Amino acid sequence: MPKVARLHAILWGVFSMGGFIAAFLLPVLIYLVGIAYPLGLWPVTNEDPTSAILNHHHIGTLFLFVTVAGSLYHGIFRFQSTLTEVGLARAKRALEAIGYLIIILGILATAIYLLQYNPSFFSLP
Amino acid sequence: MSKEKPFPEYRRKLGPGWWLSNGHFTQYMIREWTSFFVAVFSLIYIYELSLFASGAKDSALALMRNPGIIAFNVLALLFTLYHASTWFYLIGKVQPIKLGKTTSKPWQALLLNIVLLLIISYAVIQIFIVR
Amino acid sequence: MSQDVATVRVTRYRPEKDGEPFFQDYKVPYRKDMVVLDALNYIKANLDGTLTYRWSCRMGVCGSCGASVDGVPKLTCASFLHEFKGRTIKVEPLPHFPVIKDLVVNMDDFMHKLVEIKPWIIRDKESPPEEGEYRQSAEELERYQQFSSCINCMLCYSACPVYGLNEKFLGPAATALAYRYIKDSRDQGKDARFPIVHEIEGVWECTLVGECSVVCPKGVDPMLAIQKTKILGATNALKSLLMPRGGGK
């Protein structure tokens, strides 16, 4: 008997949220961290962008977590599904498992690193 | 329903290169491959965050100045922007806005969301970097 | 009236003789108002009586004459020969479906899916005819009207690589029709239909290629129906997660 795939539905919802995050928040992060700072382009500052964002305490840390976790989820989920469409259909289950493993570990690692850098995140300002 | 079939039916299979057969499919595949750049940039950046967290800020900054990484980042930005524009266009297709008798077109959603993207990006730079 | 001659390259598959399909070329004289289906009828009547294909209405209503014309799924009754002037017109059986003979494909899979989504109005309790019809406003009709134009021609399935890769995928037309009833104000069958469209091989397999909506000869937008059904499924699942009792209906 067919059954509503609840978990699948929720995971698709998260994937979709990740798509919005990667579209609206990721480009500026790539530009600041990966292009503008190393090449000395606008906005030129003394402090590197990652430190600047992290030193902006809660809101900066939250911005990084949402952007990185959302983009990672979206990117990995979509990429493993694309691989099944170009000849790896047989490895579908394995790709899904590896994909979710990378997503879970990546998001956990992001949270841990951010808290390590900014341990007071959960204490009130 | 399981009638005996007297002659075999011919089954065709979709090969791994199916997306080259039609321009729409090729465009679709490029759209899906943007996810590779989104995923790999995220992973590289998580690694950089680990260096920041362990106090090795200088090696993180050195990694960012690596020409190979910069070249990848430029590609990643282009592909992420392509992802953004396809995503914005599809939002307009799936959730058009109705105002009275007129319904919004996908390209209007694309334009509106590009403006929104620029505002958000500028705000991020103003709040976190320029201050 | 001047006549041109078209070269029509048709897939032949004779299961009793051949292990593999092959192409056969026919020369067909045509006028400006003739379509690919007319060419096939001309071949059958004048050149080769063994050519096998499905057709019925000749006017884009019955949905039986679909084939891949020049690599694109089309109704052969709506593809004019003069559009291919100077080129060989390749006519192949609809992609992704098993071929029975020549241009005739096996539609069993689609027929099962069509029945599975229960394409009729479901009521908790039927009211007797004396109580009158189930009334509907123009706005309520508009919510599903385009999805009711489907003629089951299966072009969308032939255009869908996701279906081509995974036959279990519920696919465009069946989902569009399910959505047509989900959106119908007179229908009360959500509990029966959601398990089918929101099953693991239901809408979640779709990766939004969008070609289904491009090839549809009746202007139906199955891609939209699938996306809307996904959003419904995700919202329902989230509701039932946050409110385990009574939510997610």
DSSP per-residue codes, A71-90: HHHHHHHHHHHHHHHTT-GG
Pairwise CB contact (< 8 Å): B25 & C99 = no
Checking if the pLDDT of C247 tops 70, the result is no
CA distance B54 to B70: 23
Q: Which residue has the tokens 């690596």?
A: B66
Domain boundaries, given as residue ranges, for chain B: 33-130
Q: Are the beta carbons of A13 and B52 closer than 8 angstroms?
A: no
CA distance A33 to C120: 56
Checking if the pLDDT of C49 tops 80, the result is yes
Checking if the pLDDT of A89 tops 90, the result is no
Percent of chain C whose pLDDT exceeds 90? 88
CA C227 to chain centre: 17
User: What φ, ψ does residue C26 adopt, rounded to 5°?
Assistant: -130, 145
Whole-angstrom CA distances from B83 to B27, C3, C21 are 11, 49, 40
Pair type for strands C22-30 and C72-75: unpaired
Q: Hey, which residues 82-111 in chain B have their CB within 8 Å of chain A?
A: 83-84, 87-88
Checking if the pLDDT of A40 tops 60, the result is yes
B33-130 under CATH 1.20.1300.10, yes or no: yes
Question: What is the per-residue pLDDT for B3?
Answer: 61
- Supply the angle between the helices B67-94 and B23-53 in degrees, to the nearest 10: 130
Pairwise CB contact (< 8 Å): B60 & A43 = no
User: What φ, ψ does residue C75 adopt, rounded to 5°?
Assistant: -80, 125
* CA gyration radius, chain C: 21
HSE, side-chain direction, 13 A CA sphere, residue B47: 12
What does the mean pLDDT of chain C come to?
94
CA distance C53 to C162: 26
Checking if the pLDDT of C18 tops 90, the result is no
Among residues B32, B91, B33, B94, which one has the least CA distance to residue A24? Answer: B91
- B28 contact C CB<8A: yes
CA distance C109 to C94: 14
Checking if the pLDDT of C249 tops 50, the result is no
All partners of chain C with 3 or more CB pairs under 8 angstroms: A, B
DSSP secondary structure letter of residue B56: -
Average pLDDT over residues A68-82: 97
- Give B18 to chain A, closest Cα distance, Å: 8
| Residue pLDDT, tens place only, C93-149 | 999 999 999 999 999 999 999 999 999 999 999 889 999 999 999 999 999 999 999
If residue B86 lies in a helix (H) or strand (E), which one and from where to where?
helix B67-94
Q: Which residues of C touch A (CB under 8 A)?
A: 116, 161-162, 165-166, 194-196, 198-200, 202, 204, 207, 230, 233-238, 240-241
How many secondary structure helices (H) and strands (E) does chain A include? 6, 0
Closest chain B residue to C102, measured at CA? B10
- B8 contact C CB<8A: yes
Q: Are the beta carbons of A24 and A63 closer than 8 angstroms?
A: no
What does the mean pLDDT of chain A come to?
92
Pairwise CB contact (< 8 Å): B12 & C71 = no
Q: Which residues of A touch B89 (CB under 8 A)?
A: none
Domain with CATH 1.10.1060.10 in chain C: 108-242
Predicted confidence band of residue B2 (pLDDT cuts 50, 70, 90): low
What is the SS3 assignment for C55-80? Answer: CCCCCCCCCCCEEEECCEEEEHHHCE
Pair type for strands C88-92 and C4-12: parallel
| Residue pLDDT, tens place only, B3-33 | 666 789 999 999 999 999 999 999 999 999 9
If residue C9 lies in a helix (H) or strand (E), which one and from where to where?
strand C4-12
Predicted confidence band of residue A74 (pLDDT cuts 50, 70, 90): very high
Q: Could you report the predicted ipTM of this complex, rounded to two decimals?
A: 0.94
CA distance C51 to C39: 12
Question: What is the per-residue pLDDT for A46?
Answer: 83
CA distance C10 to C50: 12
Q: Which residues of A touch B110 (CB under 8 A)?
A: none
HSE, side-chain direction, 13 A CA sphere, residue A98: 11
Three-class SS of residue C28? strand
A112: left (phi over 0), alpha (psi -120 to 50) or beta: alpha
Predicted confidence band of residue A120 (pLDDT cuts 50, 70, 90): confident
Pairwise CB contact (< 8 Å): A3 & C199 = yes
Predicted confidence band of residue A34 (pLDDT cuts 50, 70, 90): very high
Predicted confidence band of residue A55 (pLDDT cuts 50, 70, 90): confident
The length of chain C, given as a count of residues: 249
Q: Are the beta carbons of C157 and C96 closer than 8 angstroms?
A: yes
Pairwise CB contact (< 8 Å): B7 & C164 = no
Checking if the pLDDT of C68 tops 70, the result is yes
Q: Closest CB to B21: pick one of C71, C96, C210.
A: C71
Three-class SS of residue C92? strand
| Extended beta strands in chain B, E state | 98-99, 102-103
Q: Which two tokens stand for residue C91?
A: 């006519």
Instruction: Classify residue C221 by burial, with Cβ atoms within 10 Å: 0-12, 13-18, 19+.
Output: buried
Q: Which residue has the tokens 């039927």?
A: C126
DSSP secondary structure letter of residue C202: T
CA distance A13 to B77: 24
Q: Closest CB to B10: pick one of C96, C98, C214.
A: C98
Domain with CATH 3.10.20.30 in chain C: 4-105
Q: Which residues of B touch C231 (CB under 8 A)?
A: 94
CA angle C206, C209, C215 (to 5 degrees): 110
User: What φ, ψ does residue B65 adopt, rounded to 5°?
Assistant: -90, -5
- Give A53 to chain C, closest Cα distance, Å: 32
Pairwise CB contact (< 8 Å): A10 & C241 = yes
Q: Which residues of C touch B (CB under 8 A)?
A: 13, 15-16, 20-21, 71-72, 95-96, 98-100, 106, 108, 161, 164-165, 207-211, 214, 223-224, 227-228, 231
DSSP secondary structure letter of residue B6: S
Closest chain C residue to A82, measured at CA? C207
Pairwise CB contact (< 8 Å): B25 & C71 = no
Domain boundaries, given as residue ranges, for chain A: 6-22+50-120
Q: Which residues of C touch A5 (CB under 8 A)?
A: 198-200, 202, 204
C4-105 under CATH 3.40.1260.10, yes or no: no
Q: Which residues of C touch B11 (CB under 8 A)?
A: 98-99
Q: Closest CB to B7: pick one of C15, C108, C228.
A: C15
Cβ neighbours, 10 Å, residue C51:
18
Predicted confidence band of residue C2 (pLDDT cuts 50, 70, 90): low
Question: What is the per-residue pLDDT for B63?
Answer: 92
Tally C-beta pairs within 8 A across A and C.
Answer: 56
Among residues C107, A67, C161, A99, which one has the least CA distance to residue B18? Answer: C161
CA distance B51 to B59: 7
Q: Which residues of A touch C199 (CB under 8 A)?
A: 2-5
Adjacent-strand bridge partners of C69: C72, C91
Q: Which residues of B touch A76 (CB under 8 A)?
A: 35, 39
Q: Classify domain C108-242 at the CATH topology level.
A: Fumarate Reductase Iron-sulfur Protein; Chain B, domain 2 (1.10.1060)
